[in-house]
Every structure is written in structure tokens, then in C-alpha cells.
Structure 1
């Protein structure tokens, strides 16, 4: 069975696959464009995206805005017919400015999670950019639909439902994740589809996209059969030739074993899932001294936080993986080799055919 296109408003990707936004610097223009050229939706992560800019150390906000526009332009040049999204966390200190920069830069879609993006329609008012919030429950999806409809007469152009097996910051408490009290992705997806359906209008369908732990074609097939319109995959795209991270970073996934993946507490109070290394062992024993604050996340207090998450993520993506934070989905250990995005997408399509 062939995969049906994913329709996001008047946009249509040939394949119902969104590449997840991964920061810092893991998914930039090169990866996003490669995915878009293969018929998926490529996503640039806007988190501390200006880290290569000479001004980053002195004015990170200015560097980030400039770099975001540049990365969108590069992606558009590399994939002129493709769909390019930008992932922006609500928890960013300069969230409003980054959303406006993404729209000004020509992003086709804004994907937004790590909080409820209550004001997102207001920030892009009058522009063509599509809006996709990320939620971890049907309840959160309902809140967003009600608020956006009542305040802005606007409904989401799609909703990404992210389950507990995702990488990066997770929308569940640490207790839920450890004790297994959280619902699995299948349950959350089905609940969200039922909750969102009454909000849909004749000319406004709201596709539900499943995310979190989706690794292969059989996973994609399963969620499409459950009623999802597409999937988002992040970790699986890390070990690709086009991924913007260093080779050392990619090799951490190839060398990773199932027991190497653990939950950790982020400085912003949210749990995350990462590969166990020297850095994680250090922060479990003592607080790291913070010499500089990049003012990246609104909920981070440098006086009390365990470590600087920007520094930790930057160390990792640049290749200093032993002293950095390496976020991963629960199935990151299954990655065996580095392949091209084209090879991966073709492989996934074959697997979907077998799974359906």
C-alpha cells in the first residue's frame, strides 16, 4: 500500500513524515532540505541556532534571529519545491521574536511545543505560515483548539501528539515516566483524534501527527491505521549523512546500547531522555558551575540550575560528546549505521508496505 500525502492546510507533502526539530544544531538547513526533497516535511530547530555566529557570545538573541533567517533561506535554496518547518519551544526567552523571524524568513510551518502556544496565531496574524502545536494529551489539544478559536477564530493546521518515548524535553512528569503511570502513544493519539474531531469544520480539517519513539515503517503503518494522518520522527534522522551534527555525535547513537539510554532532569524542570555518558554521571553527583548564561529558556535560573543546557547541548553537537548532553528517543539504540536521507526514506517506504 502506498503512503498517502500529508495535507497541512493548502500544503501537501508527498509522504506523511515530518522530520522532528532537534536542537542545538542537530537539524538545520542541510537535514531539513534533504527530507523535504524526499517528499517529507523538513524541520529546522530554532533553539540557539546562532551558535556559529561570531556575535553569539556577546548577543545571542541577535545571532539567533539572523541565523534562523539564514538557515531557512539555505533550506529553501536546497529544496525549492519542499516544505520547510521551524520548531520553536514556547519556553524560549525570546519566543515572540523568534516566531516573527521564522515567518519573515519564509518558513512554511511553525511547530511549537514545550508549553502551550496560546498566542501563536496572534504572532503570525495575516501571514500564510501554518501552525502546528505539539501536545502530550488530548486535554492539551482541546485547550489549544478552544483558545485559538475563541481568541483568534483560528484552528491548528495540524497537531503533533508526542508520547512518552520521545527524546528531548518530555511533556510528562518524571514520576509518570518512572512509574509507568503515563498513557502510551497509541492511547493518546486515539483520544486526541476523538477530542479534536468536533472542532473541525467543513473547510478545516486538523490532521493528527503521531510522535515519540516512532522508528521504522511498521511504527508508521500502525499509527496510520489508528487514524493518524502522519508521523513525526526525530532520532531516526540523526544518523544520516545530511544531519547537521558532527560525526562523533552520530556515532554515539551507533555505539549506544539499550541500557545506555536514561531519563534525566533538565534545568528547566522538565524530564528528558538522553544517552548516558561522563557528563550525565557528573551532574548526578554535583552541580556544574555556570560561567555564562545565554538567557535561552525563560524558566531557567542560573543561580540554582544544575547545569547550563545550552553549553551541554553545544558541546555534544560540536563533537565533545563525553562532556555534552545527547538527547534521544527511546529507540535510539536501534540505529546501526549512517545512511543518506534518501536511503532512509526509501527504506521506510518499503517497511510501511510490509507493515500494512
Structure 2
């Protein structure tokens, strides 16, 4: 049985896989277009996307808008597939990034790291200002059924707009996590527990609006068998980040990718991020130094995250992630999912998707007692 499609409104992805939006600079146009060409949904991460612009410190808004436009245009030159943008609510440039994505006709905006309660307003304003209709889909990223319900109610009440889908990110995800530290290992907050809850929570809104709201499982999804399992729990598709880092097309430096290949299970750790959220990363000397109380004095020039406690934090997370993306891991660290230790090689996006397809088919065959001889 081949992969089923993932339908988000009138968008139809040939395979039910969303590539996670990974910043800083890990998923840009090259990776996003490669995934889109395989029939999945490729995603560009907007966080500090203007990091290489010469005026990013003096004109952060203009630099980031310029870089996002360029990456979306480059992606469009490389694929006819579905390309989205991941925009964190906590970004100080959130509004500008959303409007730019809409104007550049991104297919989907994925938004988390906070509740994107005003996201439809930006779509409505862009349509009014440009005197044309934009068809960008709006997909919140949540970690609970309650968050999904709050967003749906607010959007319907204030904007008469129902979310086009939800990404449900569990505690095994990489990067910043939408959980308290004590919830990360709690089975009640596992992705397996939360997916059915969110599926059930969105049903009243589907009935009210007469349309389907797909739920996409994210965080710890690693194999084709995992995809099968979460779809059996009610998910319409999955989001995968860690697997796509270890690909030739990933936009990060090869040394960043090699850190994934070299990581052991003991290397995976939870950090306290300067932005006020726990995060999962690959432990290294930089993280050890921070835990031992070392400080990296800095002057905040990026002002990228509204929740960053820059006066109290021992380091600039933007600088650390930029260094890591460039391969300078002694001056930064790599965010990763909980299953990063299972990565054993760097392969092409095509090879990865093909292996996931094969694993999916084998899992389906096992369930129906039709294993190939």
C-alpha cells in the first residue's frame, strides 16, 4: 500500500510528510524544495533567516524580510511542490514574516512557540491591502488539545476562520518544547496520548464548519512504521525534522550534520533556553560550560525573540545557533529530536523518503498479514 495523500484544504501532498521547519538556517530553500519535489511539504524556517545579510544588526526587520523573500523565490524556482514557512510567535519580526510569506504566496504558514491567536488577521489585512485574495493556509503548532481548542475558538469568533490543520508536537521533538520540564517524560503528555485527544477536540469545529481539520503528528517520528502507528491514532500525516537534517540537501554545514551521525543516546540532553523554554539538544562542551556557570558576554544586536531574557542569560542563543549551523559547534550547539542517536549516515532526501515508504508498506502488510515472501 503506497503512502496516502495529505490534504490540507485544496492542497494535496502526495505523501503525508511535512518536513519540520528548523532554524537557525537548517531548513531553507534547498531542503524545502527537495522535500516538496518528493511529494511532501517542504518548510523554510523564518527564525533569523537574515543572519547572513550585511545589515542584519542595523536593520533586522528589513534584512530578515529580504532573506525570506529570496528563499521563497529560490524554492519556487526549484519546485512546483508545496512549500511552507515556519514562523515562531515569539519572533520580534513575527508580523513582518507572516505578511511577507503571504505576499510571496507561501502555501502554508506553520506557527508555534506561543499561541498564534492573531494569525488570520495578517491574512485578512494582506488581502485588503493588496486588493487580491491570498490562499496561504494557516496551521498552528500545539502541544495539547486545550491549546488547539483555544486557538480554534478564537479564530472562529474573531475572524470566522477555522485552522486549516494542526501540527501536534510531542515532547520528543528537537529544539524548543511546549512543555514544562517535568512534563517531558510524563506518559500523559506523550505524543501517543495527545494525538487522539486533539483529533477528538477538533471534531466539533469540523462539524461546525463542514470541513476536515487534519491533525499532523510531530516529535519523535522516525520510521515508516511510526507513520503507520500515528495515522492509526487518527493523524492525517506526520512532521519530521531530525531525519531531514541528515540529508545532503539540508542547508546546514556538513559538520552540523555529522554531529547527528556521531550522537549517542547519552548525548541527548534537555537545556534551559534563554527564551524561557526547555529545549532538546546534543550535549557538547558549549552546553557543559553554560551549565558550569561560564558566561559569554554579549550585546544583543539581533533582538530576535521577544521572550529572551537577555539581561540574565549567559549567552546569545541566536549567535549560538548561527555558529552551529555554520559548523562551529565549539561556539554553539545543535538542537535535535530524541531519536537523533539512531541516525547513522547522511543520505539524500529521495533515499530517505523511499526508505520511509518501504517501511510504511511493510508495516501495513504486517498488520494485514500480507508480508511479502
For 1:182 and 1:67, the matched residues in 2 are separated by 40
Report if aligned partners of 2:187, 2:193 keep a CA contact under 8 Å in 1: no
Q: Which residue of 1 aligns with 2:368?
A: none
Residue 56 and residue 182 in structure 1: after superposition, are their counterparts in 2 closer, same or farther (change >3 A)? farther
Report if aligned partners of 1:217, 1:349 keep a CA contact under 8 Å in 2: yes
Q: Which runs of 4+ in 1 moved over 2 A?
A: none
Q: Which residue of 1 aligns with 2:85?
A: 86
1:248 to 232, 255, 267: 255
Report if aligned partners of 1:293, 1:302 keep a CA contact under 8 Å in 2: no
Q: Does 1:135 align with 2:142?
A: yes
2:343 to 335, 338, 354: 335
For 1:207 and 1:49, the matched residues in 2 are separated by 28
Q: TM-score when scaled to structure 2? A: 0.93
Matches within 5 A, 1:108-187: 108-125=107-124, 126=127, 127-177=134-184, 180=186, 182-187=188-193
Residue 133 and residue 327 in structure 1: after superposition, are their counterparts in 2 closer, same or farther (change >3 A)? same
Report if aligned partners of 2:171, 2:219 keep a CA contact under 8 Å in 1: yes
1:192 to 179, 193, 198: 198
Higher-Rg structure is 2
Report if aligned partners of 1:274, 1:328 keep a CA contact under 8 Å in 2: yes
For 1:327 and 1:17, the matched residues in 2 are separated by 20
Please state how far the C-alpha of 1:325 moved relative to its aligned partner: 2.0
> Once the two structures are superposed, what CA deviation does each residue of 1:78-120 show, in whole Å capped at 9, x if it has no partner?
00x2000000000001211110011112211000000000000
For 2:314 and 2:227, the matched residues in 1 are separated by 37
Q: Which residue of 2 aligns with 1:32?
A: 32
Residue 7 and residue 220 in structure 1: after superposition, are their counterparts in 2 closer, same or farther (change >3 A)? same
Matches within 5 A, 1:311-350: 311-350=319-358
Report if aligned partners of 1:268, 1:300 keep a CA contact under 8 Å in 2: yes
2:301 is paired with a residue of what secondary structure? Answer: coil
1:291 to 285, 299, 303: 299
For 2:257 and 2:237, the matched residues in 1 are separated by 26
Please state how far the C-alpha of 1:203 moved relative to its aligned partner: 4.1
Size of the alignment, in residue pairs?
A: 354
Structure 1: runs of 5 or more not aligned: none
For 1:221 and 1:55, the matched residues in 2 are separated by 46
1:294 is paired with a residue of what secondary structure? Answer: coil
Q: Which residue of 2 aligns with 1:267?
A: 274
Q: Which residue of 1 aligns with 2:105?
A: 106
Please state how far the C-alpha of 1:182 moved relative to its aligned partner: 4.8
Report if aligned partners of 1:279, 1:324 keep a CA contact under 8 Å in 2: yes
1:351 to 354, 359, 368: 359
Pairwise CA RMSD of aligned residues? 1.1
Structure 2: runs of 5 or more not aligned: 128-133, 365-373
Please state how far the C-alpha of 1:291 moved relative to its aligned partner: 2.9
Q: Which residue of 2 aligns with 1:44?
A: 44
Report if aligned partners of 2:57, 2:301 keep a CA contact under 8 Å in 1: no
Please state how far the C-alpha of 1:177 moved relative to its aligned partner: 2.1
> Once the two structures are superposed, what CA deviation does each residue of 1:165-213 show, in whole Å capped at 9, x if it has no partner?
00010000112226x3651101100000011111104642100000000
Q: TM-score when scaled to structure 1? A: 0.97
For 1:116 and 1:153, the matched residues in 2 are separated by 17
Please state how far the C-alpha of 1:14 moved relative to its aligned partner: 0.2
Q: Which residue of 2 aligns with 1:19?
A: 19
For 1:139 and 1:337, the matched residues in 2 are separated by 38
For 2:148 and 2:299, the matched residues in 1 are separated by 39
The answer to which of 124-133 and 335-344 deviates more is 124-133
1:212 to 204, 216, 219: 219
For 1:233 and 1:57, the matched residues in 2 are separated by 32
